[in-house]
Amino acid sequence: MTGSDLFFGLVVLFLIGAASSVVLNKKDRICSYISFISAAIASLLGIIFSFSVILGNNFVFNVSGTFLNFGFFVDKLSAFFILIISITAFAVSIYSTGYVKEYFGKKNIGYLCFLYNIFILSMVLVVSANNALMFLIVWEMMSIISYFLVVYEHEKPETRKAGFIYIVMTHIGTGFILLSFLILASGSASFSFETFRAGVLTMPPLLRDAAFLFALIGFGTKAGIVPLHIWLPYAHPEAPSNVSALMSGVMIKTAIYMLIRVSFDFLGASVLWWGVLLLIIASASALLGVMYALMEHDIKRLLAFHSVENIGIILIGVSVSMIFMSTGHPELAAFGLIAALYHTMNHAIFKSLLFMGAGSLIFSTHTKNIEEMGGLLKKMPWTGMFFLIGSIAISALPPLNGFVSEWLTFHAQLLSINLSDNITKIIVLSSGAALALTSALAAACFVKAFGISFLALPRSEHARNASEAPGSMLFGMGILSLLCIALGVLSFYFLPVLDSIASPLSGASVLPKVAFDLSLAALSPQAGSISTIWIFLLLFVFVPVPFLLSLALGGRTKARTYETWGCGQPVCTARNEYTATGFSKPIRMWGSGIYRPHREIQTSYAGSPFFKERFTFDTQIEPIFEKYFYEPITRLAFFVSRILKVIQTGSIHIYLLYIFITLVIALIYVGVGG
């Protein structure tokens, strides 16, 4: 099969999946199987296709006519993102065959399956578009279809609110993207991406700055950088979990793709302050993302805030790479980009895995609040195992994949010692402290998320009656869990491939300076090396040591099961357990400057003030971005609209008058000027 067979094959299969769900709309079971399986096969084709491009030649397809001029261009960077989309979509599609059973008889399955297929297709087309107009069309398609998926459970008012916030934010983003493209197109007088590169060279620096800034705001909105992130914690939790896995895992990555495309490929990453600005925004996103995640008890909102965090980590790699590019260190830039791309891949995998895990939890417990879960590891052993693997990976603990990409990011930051400007050096190195704090807080957050939801006693009736998710859902999660392990332990195998993706963008390969054999080395073996496979083997080999030690020194002993010690009191119920709110309390106190927490305690007494009858406790944090950034803007928008309302009388005569006046002014203009 050639590249174009594979590419159009996957397009057609997604369309078949979509069409069959329309035809079989009334038959829930068959409809879901056919459309999700065709999506899974299409994703397999996508995996093969992307490998054929990454290891072979670029794929080009052009249609040009007098009016219509569009095309697909898949280079290694696009193929890498198609690979991410396809791997995730494959696992999620299998998971979905089980997950949608929740909706059988209650919701329109055909509608969901139709949107699901078109959604994945639109993401694939976004990363392969080769023309600004075509790109904007598929980008809008992706945004609008994801909006429809977010509001799938539209009978709930909070879902409609989330959908509204999402669609407003995504269109503000698209507006800025349009501005950026118009500037880029003005340099070349064409909307084709190929001419953008040449056009930029003759462009005044100020316009280039503007193009970068507009692209940063536009794509940053989709990616979820602070302060444009506010839609993520609303939209991702409200969508069905299989869709949130795709949205959080891969959709926001298409924005990363375009940000890399615009700043490296089109604009050549030639200005130092672009990188520094992005680095500061990225560090802030990483840190604030994880800090807000720690305060969440809604498992899906928690994961959505972690997406903000991880987008920050990815962009730290991208921005460090841009700093190297602009100061003439192309091979170091390739190293930074490798770190960023690897984290993009890893985040797609463990975040989709965690969202699927969250979906299983909701599927069995019918709640999103982790305070109402607990004890689920015994009821859902496999879901628990997969969620634990995802938690270890996202907390960047060795030997899993998250550790490798964060390690590469730390070393990319260390390499800034090669820069000539001391202030830039200090900024980049200090961002290492922000990244370290971020990953430590992420570990704290996942101890909370896993510990409160899976360990100890069930905290509610729902959790007591939970049972394991169906096999198809476990299978989908299992694939990604294995990938988390493989991408960590065998990372040395994937990194040279990433270099072949990054080096065309930076203009130099990092391979001559780095040994990617059994150990990873950051720029010459002197600068630091890890070998995740050896760490894995060491961990594995040492497992018998504690057993042998205790057997040799202590002999055989027995273990007795008894109730947990409760300070001598005969109480041991779920109400005595530590809560998620309690667990994150030290961090809430430490970060009170940002969180601005306030609490309300109401006590009612039974007669005497010594006997408390009821005690209610409520604690909340202040959403500072919504309150101090978006609320004033919204108020301003309402104020302006109220003023403009004066001309909107609703009377057709007045509107005719407007048209007449406009016509007169236009005629005068033409008469005087022309």
Partner 1 sequence: MNPVAIAIFQMLVIIALAPLLSGIMKKVKAFFQIRKGASIFQPYYDIAKLLKKDSVVSENASWIFHAAPVISFVAILAAGMLIPIYISDMPFGFAGDLIAIVYLLALARFFTALASLDTGSSFGGMGGSREMFVASMVEPAMMLSIFAIALNVGSTNLDVISQTVSSRGFSAFSPYHLLAFVALFIIAIAETGRIPVDNPATHLELTMIHEAMILEYSGKQLALVELGAMMRNLLVFSLLANIFFPWGIASTASVAGIAAALVAFVIKIAVLGAAMAVVETSTAKWRLFRLPDLLSISLMLSFLALVSFIIVKGG
Residues 561-620 close enough to bind partner 1 by CB under 8 A: 561-566, 572, 574, 576-579, 582-587, 589-590
User: Which residues, in sequence order, are CB contacts of 582 under 8 Å at separation 6+?
Assistant: none
Could you tell me the smallest distance in angstroms from the CB atom of residue 572 to partner 1? 7
Each residue 401-440 as x (binds partner 1 by CB under 8 A) or -, in order, gives --x---x--xx-xx--x--x-x--xx--xx-xxxxxx-xx
Closer CB to partner 1, 25 or 579, in the complex: 579
Minimum distance of partner 1 from residue 380's CB (angstroms): 11
Q: Pick from 260, 325, 396, 483: which binds partner 1 (CB under 8 A)?
A: 396
Alpha carbons 327 and 507: distance in angstroms, whole number: 13
How far apart (Å, rounded) are the C-alpha atoms in residues 17 and 12? 9
Q: What is the dihedral of CA 227, 228, 229, 231, to 10 degrees?
A: 130
Question: Does an H or E element contain 367, and which?
Answer: none
Q: How far is the CB of 51 from partner 1 (least distance, A)?
A: 30
Of the two residues 126 and 521, which places its CB atom closer to partner 1 in the complex? Answer: 521
Shortest Å distance, C-beta 281 to partner 1: 19
Reported residue count of the chain is 674
Smallest distance from the beta carbon of 306 to partner 1, in angstroms?
A: 15
- Residue 265: which residues within 8 A CB-CB, separation 6 or more? 77, 197, 505
One residue of 455, 482, 486, 594 binding partner 1 per CB under 8 A: 455
Name the residue nearer to partner 1 (CB basis): 561 or 608. Answer: 561
Site membership for partner 1, residue 466 (CB under 8 A)? no
Say how far apart CA 369 and CA 365 lie, in whole Å.
10
Decide whether 507 or 586 has the Cβ nearer to partner 1.
586
Q: Report 355-394 residues binding partner 1 (CB under 8 A).
A: 375, 377-378, 392
Identify residues 518-557 at the interface with partner 1 (CB under 8 A).
519, 522, 525-531, 534-535, 538-539, 542-543, 545-547, 549-550, 553-555, 557
- CB of 563: closest distance to partner 1 in angstroms? 6
Query: Taking contact as CB under 8 A, which single stretch among the options 30-38, 172-180, 314-322, 449-457 is the one that binds partner 1?
Result: 449-457
Q: Compare residues 244 and 360 and give the one whose CB is closer to partner 1.
A: 360
Contact 221, 173 (CB under 8 A): yes
Residue with tokens 């193009």: 211
Tokens of 278: 């992005």
Choose among 554, 521, 267, 282: nearest CA to 414.
521
State the angle between helix axes of 109-128 and 3-23 in degrees (0 to 180), rounded to the nearest 10: 160
Residue 571 CA to residue 277 CA, distance in Å, equals 55
Options 70-78, 150-158, 226-234, 451-459: segment touching partner 1 (CB under 8 A): 451-459
Q: Which residue, 67 or 562, has its beta carbon nearer to partner 1?
A: 562
How near is the Cβ of 518 to partner 1 at its closest, in Å? 8
- Residue closer to partner 1 (CB basis): 114 or 410: 410
Largest CA distance in the chain: 106
Q: Which of 258, 295, 452, 489 binds partner 1 (CB under 8 A)?
A: 452
Number of residues that bind partner 1 (CB under 8 A): 89
Between helix 471-489 and helix 76-99 the angle, nearest 10°, is 150
**Shortest spacing between CB 420 and partner 1, in angstroms:** 7
Q: At what angle do helices 299-326 and 491-506 cross, to 10 degrees?
A: 50
Distance of CA 191 to the CA centre of its chain: 29
- The smaller minimum CB distance to partner 1, of residues 136 and 385, is found at 385
Please say which residue, 557 or 616, places its beta carbon nearer to partner 1: 557
CB of 444 to partner 1, least distance (A): 4
In the complex with partner 1, the residue whose CB is nearer, 543 or 670, is 543
For the bound state, the minimum distance from the C-beta of residue 310 to partner 1, rounded and expressed in Å, comes to: 17
Q: Which is nearer to partner 1, 152 or 403 (CB)?
A: 403
Residue 467, Cβ neighbours under 10 Å: how many?
A: 11
The angle at the Cα of 8, spanning 6 to 11, to the nearest 5 degrees, equals: 110
Nearer to partner 1, 534 or 655 (CB): 534
Reduced to 3 states (helix: H, G, I; strand: E, B; else coil), residue 41 is helix
> How far apart are the C-alpha atoms of 254 and 229, rounded to whole Å?
15
CA 311/CA 170 separation, integer angstroms: 17
Q: Are the C-beta atoms of 335 and 510 separated by less than 8 Å? A: yes
Nearest residue (CB) to partner 1, 456 versus 474: 456
Task: Answer for the pair 269, 275: CB distance below 8 angstroms, yes or no.
Answer: yes
The Cα 511–Cα 439 span in angstroms is: 28
For the bound state, the minimum distance from the C-beta of residue 280 to partner 1, rounded and expressed in Å, comes to 16
For every residue of 170-235, DSSP letters joined together read HHHHHHHHHHHHHHHHHHHTS-BHHHHHHHHHTS-HHHHHHHHHHHHHHHHHHHT-TTSGGGHHHH
Q: What is the distance between the alpha carbons of residues 337 and 479, in angstroms, rounded to a whole number?
A: 26
Give the residue with the Cβ less far from partner 1, 56 or 525: 525
Site for partner 1 in 480-519 (CB under 8 A): 519
Smallest gap from residue 575 Cβ to partner 1 (A):
10
User: At 178, which amino acid appears?
Assistant: L
530 C-beta neighbours (distance < 10 Å), count:
20
Phi, psi dihedrals of residue 436, rounded to the nearest 5°: -65, -45
Residue numbers 35-94 binding partner 1 by CB under 8 A: none
CB of 582 to partner 1, least distance (A): 7
Q: How far apart are CA 185 and CA 196, in angstroms?
A: 6
CB of 431 to partner 1, least distance (A): 10
Considering the complex, state which of residue 152 and residue 450 has its C-beta at the smaller distance from partner 1: 450
CA gap 115, 102 in Å, rounded: 17
CB of 439 to partner 1, least distance (A): 7
